[in-house]
Structure 1
Amino acid sequence: MGHGIEDVARAAGVSTATVSRALRGLPHVTDATRERVRAVAAELGYVATPSARSLATGRTRTIGLLSPWVSHWFFANVIEGAERALREQDHDALLYTFDVFELGPRRRVETHVLRGRVDGVLVVGLPLEDAEVADLDALGRPLVFVGAGPTDRCTVRIDEVAVAHLAVRHLLELGHRRIAYVSGHPDDVSPWSAAVLRTHGWREAMTEAGLRTDLQVNGNFDMPGGRAATHELLDRHPDVTAVFASSDEMAMGVVVAARERGLRIPQDLSVIGVDGHELGEVVGLTSVAQDVLAQGREAARLVLRVIAGEPVPVRVTPPVRLVVRSSTGPAPA
């Protein structure tokens, strides 16, 4: 029969709580005590199981991840970054996805599935209603948002309005004046969603330049959506010379549609996206790039800091950079 945590505590002359803290590398244990506990545990062949740790500490060492999708580039990379950071700290991730705008209204976030199963929650780009945020608060667990989140909550996200300004300014400097915008889904009206804020930034930048702001279509944040939106756009406004797409995936769809119509990139139509997708280099896509893996890691670290009782900032704003490639060029004469 194997030895348990009580045997280690008895042999080391400490409490079971001290054994747990020492073996998990937590603070408030002296170096001498930590080494003594580890030596005794090794001698007795004791290895704490996840279930035993949970019973001893009241912690599951699991973080819930709520996301609309895992198939879209941004979400997949945030989740990967968060999962890696959690694994480094001996934590697991429990993933729940909620289809957004695909087959009618999405189902509400059911917080009861998280109760007693997670120590904290990461919300990845999911436009929640106020009642859903309140339900998550009722779990009594730390809550961190990444990609989008209420202004009064701990959130890791780029400055979406500034991103739109940067993209439009690049096109303006190339001489473009008929600049269209491909946004997300028309039903996404959350005031703190990326699509809404980037739309606000595009309109603001265009208004400041004295240009029209009715050249907008919706692309659903994927390549097929960007492709269909571009055909719709050019059917109505064939004199558009540049397109700002709210994601690189949609921007790639814009490129595909333009080529299907016999348009040259960038001689006839310039295209810029947002994200820094790996395939952007392959297709020569100009983009406002962000480090999405790093955002996932940072969000995971923040929720672990809250669990540990440490203070965290309300807003973390990662940097972005303009990556100019062959998809943008001077406006046609």
Structure 2
Amino acid sequence: MVSIEDVAQRAGVSTATVSRALSGNGPVSAAAREKVADAATALGYVVSSSASSLASGRTKNVGLIVPYLARWFFISAVEGAQQALMRHGYDVTLYNLSGGGGERDSVFDVFLQRQRIDGIIAISLELSPVEVASLHALGKPVVGVGGPIEGVRTLTVDDVAISRLATEHLLALGHERIAHVGGSETYDLDFHIPTNRRVGYELALREAGIEPRPEYFTSADFTIEGGYHAAKQLLGNPRSRPTAIFAAADEMAIGCILAARDLGLVVPRDVSIIGIDGHELSEFFGLTTIAQYPRAQGEHAVDILMNELRPGKHAEVPGNIPLGYDLIVRSSTSRPTG
């Protein structure tokens, strides 16, 4: 059986250096780390997780908490975080709260209390003060993604600014009759994303001297099907038909494109459509979108957490770290005709 001493002898370093290099705990030069990795691979040496945990006090496991998984955005963010954690040698425990009922209470009151993780990343989950206090009591670093959380370092998305930019793009093209497909109340629980995106939409209109029309707003469930049915209602009456639609998510925007086509309308000649997310299907549909890079958000959260977990590292002061976004213009938007 290959031992740590065998790896050290082959790499020409001390056993302490091997331990630091393979565990990620403590300073090791890039050259020494590469020698150790090559020696471990050549000898087929695998670090014992139990021995490593006893020596370092670490489980090499991070908890990811998400409100849903059946949406592209959350899957992408989780994938980005999971891949980044693997590169750092960490396992992942995923807590999906979409089941409703007492799942959320169980996660915070039972599962996290078992302390089988080194840190927590909460994706698009607005933690309550009680939940934050519970996590801090564990002595584990916490990183949030999506919106401000008091007492937690959080990567924040400015949903008001994003939706203003989307609406301003349509206004700049000359559209005035702009409809909005927003999220239903079901999705307004954490960080109030649907509400904030509607606020940004209405702010942009009012700044352009246009009063939002109630009949130009409808809600859906952040799915292609939901966007399809919402757009059918908005576009079905030719006398009050908007010339543009801003959907609060790309999947709903794609549904709007399909609905327009089924009604015999040409996008963007008859109606321009824009969404938010940068969905993997947005390019296929020629969808103009505000890309917010969920996979990169997950990776960024891991970078912050790994920095917090460095030996001897003092905890960072909680605060908000703004996330970037980009307007990606494609063929689904153009100047209104007529």
Q: Deviations over 1:261-290 (max 9, x none)?
A: 222211221100011112111111111112
Q: Deviations over 1:85-109 (max 9, x none)?
A: 1111101111111117xxx767424
Instruction: Give the Cα separation in 2 of the matches to 1:331 and 1:34.
Output: 59
SS in 2 for 1:280: coil
1:163 offset after TM fit, Å?
A: 1.1
Give the 3 Å change call, closer, same or farther, for CA 240–66 of structure 1 in structure 2. Answer: same
Q: Is 232-241 or 199-208 further displaced after alignment?
A: 232-241
Instruction: Give the Cα separation in 2 of the matches to 1:254 and 1:130.
Output: 39
Partner of 1:119: 118
Do 1:219 and 1:229's aligned partners in 2 also have CA atoms closer than 8 Å? yes
Partner of 1:147: 146
Partner of 1:325: 330
Task: List alignment gaps of at least 5 residues for structure 2.
Answer: none
The percentage of aligned residue pairs carrying the same residue is 41
Do 2:252 and 2:275's aligned partners in 1 also have CA atoms closer than 8 Å? yes
Give the 3 Å change call, closer, same or farther, for CA 211–120 of structure 1 in structure 2. Answer: same
Q: Deviations over 1:145-195 (max 9, x none)?
A: 112342653122332222111111110011111211122231344473433
Partner of 1:295: 297
Do 1:280 and 1:286's aligned partners in 2 also have CA atoms closer than 8 Å? yes
Q: 1:98 is aligned with what amino acid?
A: L
Matches within 5 A, 1:256-275: 256-275=258-277
Length-normalised TM-score, structure 1: 0.83
Q: Deviations over 1:43-96 (max 9, x none)?
A: 998643112111222211111011122231111111111111111110111111
Matches within 5 A, 1:199-278: 199-213=198-212, 214=214, 215-234=216-235, 238-278=240-280
Matches within 5 A, 1:89-100: 89-99=88-98
1:140 offset after TM fit, Å?
A: 2.5
SS in 1 for 2:327: strand
Instruction: Give the Cα separation in 2 of the matches to 1:257 and 1:37.
Output: 58
SS in 1 for 2:323: coil
Instruction: Give the Cα separation in 1 of the matches to 2:196 and 2:52.
Output: 43
SS in 2 for 1:71: coil
Give the 3 Å change call, closer, same or farther, for CA 47–229 of structure 1 in structure 2. Answer: same
Length-normalised TM-score, structure 2: 0.82
1:30 offset after TM fit, Å?
A: 8.8
Instruction: Give the Cα separation in 1 of the matches to 2:148 and 2:44.
Output: 46
Q: 1:161 is aligned with what amino acid?
A: V
Give the 3 Å change call, closer, same or farther, for CA 47–206 of structure 1 in structure 2. Answer: same
Determine whether 1:76 maps to 2:70: no
Partner of 1:283: 285
SS in 2 for 1:282: coil
Instruction: Give the Cα separation in 2 of the matches to 1:37 and 1:164.
Output: 49
Number of aligned residue pairs: 326
Do 2:23 and 2:52's aligned partners in 1 also have CA atoms closer than 8 Å? no
Determine whether 1:108 maps to 2:104: yes
Instruction: Give the Cα separation in 2 of the matches to 1:161 and 1:199.
Output: 8
1:313 offset after TM fit, Å?
A: 7.1
SS in 2 for 1:83: helix
Instruction: Give the Cα separation in 2 of the matches to 1:322 and 1:46.
Output: 48
Instruction: Give the Cα separation in 1 of the matches to 2:226 and 2:102.
Output: 19
Determine whether 1:132 maps to 2:134: no
Task: List alignment gaps of at least 5 residues for structure 1.
Answer: none
